[in-house]
């Protein structure tokens, strides 16, 4: 008896949510492959548009928790996110103009870049008392625009770009940047999914199933993260290796493997 694609998407979403909770940025890039290779989606554009909707909703939910924790630098986060909105819409518009095969190949390269970036030792120092200024606005806006362009084109949350971008532009701590990045992830994902929805390339029921699984997996991941605290570097490296392997598989499939 064939495995129900709906169940596969929920389980795949749970794995994505679990990895996101344990490792932070990078996990959402697995959402589109889950839809393509487990959920029965055959159109790469539909997979990217649907995954973007689920990622945006998941980021918005996580944003509320960080907001209550007081970790978000709202002025800086808002400038970065608003500047990137136009970029994400432009990027997703460009992605819709290329073939599904080309989009998947580009997506595979983006996945590989994310995986490689996760091998770097994350910096933890920074200024926890960052305040917005015109000088910071001049740094945040162009970085936000470029990051939104990449996030929209590849249909990814973009957290692996947004976090270092916020830290580079403002000097804020990684904890603040991680929390603040969720506003951009939510808005970029919403803009990308909206653009795809305009041409009927979002499967809303599948997006809901992916989000449902992600919520359950996220709760489990929060508990697992405590147990892995002493082995975080090794676990993160293994996760990065898995992303690279999936990227190779996506590239192989896009080339007709």
One-character DSSP codes across 118-155: TTSPPP---BTT----HHHHHHHHHHHHHHHHHHHHHT
Residues for the chain: how many in total?
Answer: 257
Q: Quick check: helix, strand or coil at residue 203?
A: coil
Burial 207-239 (b: 16+ CB within 10 A, else e): bbbbbbbbeebbeebeebbeeeeeeeeebbeeb
Dihedral through CA 136, CA 139, CA 141, CA 146, nearest 10? -150
Report CA-CA distances (Å) from 149 to 100, 102, 140, 146, 154. Answer: 18, 17, 14, 5, 9
pLDDT for the residue numbered 123: 55
Closest CA to 116 of 243, 253, 9: 243
- pLDDT tier at 162 (50, 70, 90 boundaries)? confident
With beta carbons less than 8 A apart as the criterion, state whether 58 and 211 touch: yes
Mean pLDDT of 80-87: 93
In the structure encoding, which two tokens stand for residue 216, read together?
A: 């359950």
Q: Is the pTM of this model over 0.85?
A: no
Mean pLDDT of 14-34: 75
Query: CA-CA distance, 83 to 104, in Å (whole number)?
Result: 26
Query: CA-CA distance, 239 to 107, in Å (whole number)?
Result: 18
* pLDDT per position as a tens digit, 222-249: 677 666 656 667 766 777 787 788 889 8
Q: Quick check: helix, strand or coil at residue 172?
A: strand
pLDDT for the residue numbered 94: 93
- pLDDT tier at 137 (50, 70, 90 boundaries)? very high
pLDDT for the residue numbered 242: 78
Return the axis-axis angle of helices 74-97 and 174-197, rounded to nearest 10°: 40
Can you say whether the dihedral through the CA atoms of 183, 184, 190, 193 is positive or negative? Answer: negative
């Amino acid at each position: 008896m064939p495995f129900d694609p709906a169940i596969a998407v929920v389980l795949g979403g749970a794995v994505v949510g679990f990895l996101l909770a344990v490792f932070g940025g990078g996990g959402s890039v697995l959402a589109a492959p889950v839809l393509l290779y487990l959920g029965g989606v055959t159109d790469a554009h539909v997979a990217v548009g649907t995954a973007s909707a689920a990622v945006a909703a998941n980021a918005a939910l996580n944003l509320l928790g960080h907001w209550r924790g007081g970790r978000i630098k709202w002025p800086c986060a808002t400038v970065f996110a608003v500047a990137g909105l136009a970029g994400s819409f432009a990027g997703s518009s460009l992605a819709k103009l290329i073939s599904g095969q080309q989009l998947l190949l580009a997506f595979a390269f983006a996945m590989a870049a994310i995986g490689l970036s996760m091998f770097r030792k994350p910096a933890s120092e920074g200024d926890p008392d960052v305040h917005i200024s015109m000088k910071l606005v001049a740094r945040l806006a162009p970085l936000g625009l470029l990051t939104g362009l990449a996030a929209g084109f590849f249909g990814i949350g973009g957290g692996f770009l947004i976090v270092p971008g916020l830290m580079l532009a403002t000097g804020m701590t990684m904890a603040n940047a991680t929390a603040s990045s969720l506003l951009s992830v939510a808005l970029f994902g919403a803009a990308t999914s909206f653009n795809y929805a305009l041409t009927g390339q979002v499967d809303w029921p599948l997006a809901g199933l992916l989000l449902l699984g992600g919520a359950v997996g996220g709760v489990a991941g929060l508990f697992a993260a405590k147990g892995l605290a002493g082995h975080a570097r090794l676990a993160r490296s293994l996760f990065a290796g898995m992303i690279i392997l999936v990227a190779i598989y996506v590239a192989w499939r896009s080339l007709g493997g």
